[in-house]
Structure 1
Amino acid sequence: MIVFSGLPGIGKSTLSRSLLGYGKAVYLRVDSVEAALSNSGLRRVMVEGYAVAYALALDNLRLGHDVVVDCVNPVSETRTAWQEIARQAEANLINVEVSCSDLGEHRRRVEGRFSDAANYVGRWSPPSWEEVLSSCKTYQPWTIPTVQIDLARLTPELAAASLLAELDKLGYTLPNAPAP
């Protein structure tokens, strides 16, 4: 299981989806789960989106599927929960911490999401720049090892190549990935 974590709008979805082309994996995007819950009538989605994603990840890992998770994963409780899912499924867990060190570029990406209708699912929409800045206050530092990738200056292709090289160093090679 590979869990992509980081603030909204930095490029996690683009990067995590790029891995799907190199092998068969189940893709779980917590935003999609939260959108479905919101659109089903749940007034305020809190932990429920993550709880559904944990259950789906565990089911798929137990079936022998690789799982790619795309989420903010902002606090130690969510990070510990992914570790527990991997333990229960007897699966390897790779945490990929995605960042964008260029604040202007991060803002451009966040605001660019609003012009793309694909980012709206019923009542759900991506967070505004102000909401992203507010979420920085509660985003906890990592205390466990992660693969770190800064997307500030990387094209999606270079980011994917960099990530594949890091995964290869950890001994995790995707079946259809180019040789490093």
Structure 2
Amino acid sequence: MSRPGLILLGGLPGTGKSTVAVPVARALGAAYLRIDRIEQALVDSGELPENPMAAGYLVGYALARDQLDVGVSVVAECVNPLKLTRDAWKSVGDRHGRWTLEAELVCSLPAEHRARVEHRTVDVEGLRLPTWQQVLDREYEAWDRDHLVIDTAVTSVAESVDLVLRHANALAHPDA
């Protein structure tokens, strides 16, 4: 990819963000930022009086800025539930004149989504995965601008990765 940029994969827990983000980052040789891992590291430090609310995102924005500054594309993966967080991620790319691909992963089949949430394994040591009820109760604002939406209930992992890569390539090479 000639022009570095920011790929942001958001969506509720259990929609496949990590499953798609890792092969996208590998294919691009991009930095991979996973907010769950950042937040868990902050918790593990023992320095915070309670679990982080915004700190993980703030660290993620700072790390993404550093990577973009040195010319490395970034794949950031997080729930990204609010307009505020989406705008903050977008400003990271915009501030440095980089392209930003915003993608939301959804799972349109509630039974499938629930099964994924209830049968996931923890891949970040110490991370407590949300219950299905916690996913349902989570604050998650509707997106207010155009973005790529991938329904992982009907789109395979390989197809999802390919969609992200094609959209990123179009942004990285706008004259092609």
Taking structure 1 as the reference length, the TM-score comes to 0.86
Q: 1:126 aligns with which of 129, 137, 147?
A: 129
After TM superposition, list the pairs within 5 Å mapping 1:149-160 onto structure 2.
149-160=150-161
Partner of 1:144: 145
> CA separation of 1:172/1:90 partners in 2, compared to 1, >3 Å: closer, same or farther?
closer
- The runs of at least 4 consecutive aligned structure 1 residues that moved more than 2 Å come to 116-119, 161-168, 170-173
How many residues are paired up?
A: 166
Q: Output the TM-score relative to the length of structure 2.
A: 0.88
2:63 aligned with 1:60, yes or no? Answer: no
Checking the alignment, whether the CA contact within 8 Å between 2:99 and 2:171 is kept in structure 1 is no
Consecutive unaligned residues in structure 1, runs of 5 or more: 174-180
Specify every segment of 5 or more residues in structure 2 that has no aligned partner in the other structure, as ranges. 1-5
1:15-164 maps to which residues of 2 (within 5 A)?
Answer: 15-41=20-46, 42=48, 43-113=50-120, 116-119=121-124, 121-122=125-126, 124-135=127-138, 138-164=139-165
Match of 2:3 in 1: none
How far apart are residue 96 of structure 1 and its match?
Answer: 0.5
Query: Are the structure 2 counterparts of residues 107 and 59 from structure 1 closer, same or farther at C-alpha, using a change threshold of 3 Å?
Result: same
- Indicate the SS of the match to 2:32: strand
SS of the aligned residue for 2:112 comes to helix
Q: Is the Cα–Cα contact under 8 Å of residues 7 and 101 in structure 2 kept in the other structure?
A: yes
Please report the RMSD computed on the Cα atoms of aligned residues, expressed in angstroms. Answer: 1.6
Q: Deviations over 1:41-97 (max 9, x none)?
A: 222210001000010000111010000000111011101111211122221111011
